[in-house]
Amino acid sequence: MKIGFIGLGIMGKPMAKNLLKAGYSIVAYDIVPEAVKELVQAGAEQGESSADVASKSDIIITMLPNSPHVKEVVLGKNGVLEGAKSGTILVDMSSIAPLASKEISEKLAEKGVVMLDAPVSGGEPKAIDGTLSIMVGGPEDVFKKVEDILKKMGASVVHIGEIGSGNITKLANQIIVALNIAAMSEAMVLATKAGVDPEKVFEAIRGGLAGSTVLNAKVPLVLQRNFKPGFRIELHIKDLMNALETGHEIGVPLPLTSQVMETMQALKVDGKAKDDHGGLIQYYEKLAKIEVKKQS
């Protein structure tokens, strides 16, 4: 069995490397030649295009920034659809609009290609460790065929329901993460402005009800002023925009999501779009004219 992997960015590259380490045969492609070269050096075969990858693969994994990119790679010129054979499985692990997943799936079905939407959560560190949370939509029998492959990239792999439900779950995840980061930011700025050591506040509250994975992952980085991207603000904006669009389509108001997205937009305008989403705290710091950092 050969796996095609298209999209070797911050997330895709370590995910593909974990599949290589697990012994899978990989055909890799990305528009950035250096990324492909790195995978080839790790043992992958080089693909010349998305269509070329599809023609050589039984299962194709895509890991791309947003809905338009997935549509172009799958349905566009020299895309997956041109090269894929009937019976091929496409696992799109990008975080895109649920309706886009359904649209792409319908086009693929016309050629006998079946699709799963399988977005991930955990950012670059968990992509490297192979401990991502993976939420999957699509036919359950197809999910069973790729479950072992997904488990080489994730510690949690859950089949949710029909196509599109994986991305609905990811949007829910991204809302909770964004609001957690915003709450963490407000709290740490409040403590710092009041003259209390934010590191000690973190240690005091992390074991109680306010404790969370977000708190544990982001506060130490903030204290070090480390906003190197594990997941960029501009990508979280994209996810929240997809959440708001989906909410509008089905009649679900998302007032808190809208507010946090606008704070992220303000940071984007301020030149911080490529900062880690934990850098959201900089918005609140600017308002309060204080910086949250390690004090000793």
Length of the chain: 296
Judge whether 277 and 181 are in contact, CB under 8 Å.
Answer: yes
Q: How far is CA 34 from CA 14, 93, 160, in A?
A: 14, 21, 35
Judge whether 54 and 84 are in contact, CB under 8 Å.
Answer: yes
**Tokens 């196509």 label which residue?**
163
Radius of gyration of the chain (CA): 20
- CA 187 to CA 259: how far, in whole Å? 17
Contacts of 250 (CB under 8 A, 6+ apart): none
- CA 55 to CA 119: how far, in whole Å? 24
- CA 56 to CA 60: how far, in whole Å? 9
Question: Exposed/middle/buried for 266, CB within 10 Å: 0-12, 13-18, 19+?
Answer: middle
Which of 13, 17, 126, 170 is labelled catalytic?
170
Q: What burial letters (b/e) apply to 103-142, b meaning 16+ CB within 10 Å?
A: bbbeebeeeebbbbbbbbbbbbebbbebebbbbbbbbeeb
Judge whether 184 and 205 are in contact, CB under 8 Å.
Answer: no
| 152 has catalytic annotation | no
> Which secondary structure element, helix H or strand E, spans residue 287, and what is its range?
helix 281-288
Both tokens of 136, joined, read: 């999957």
Residues serving a catalytic function are 170
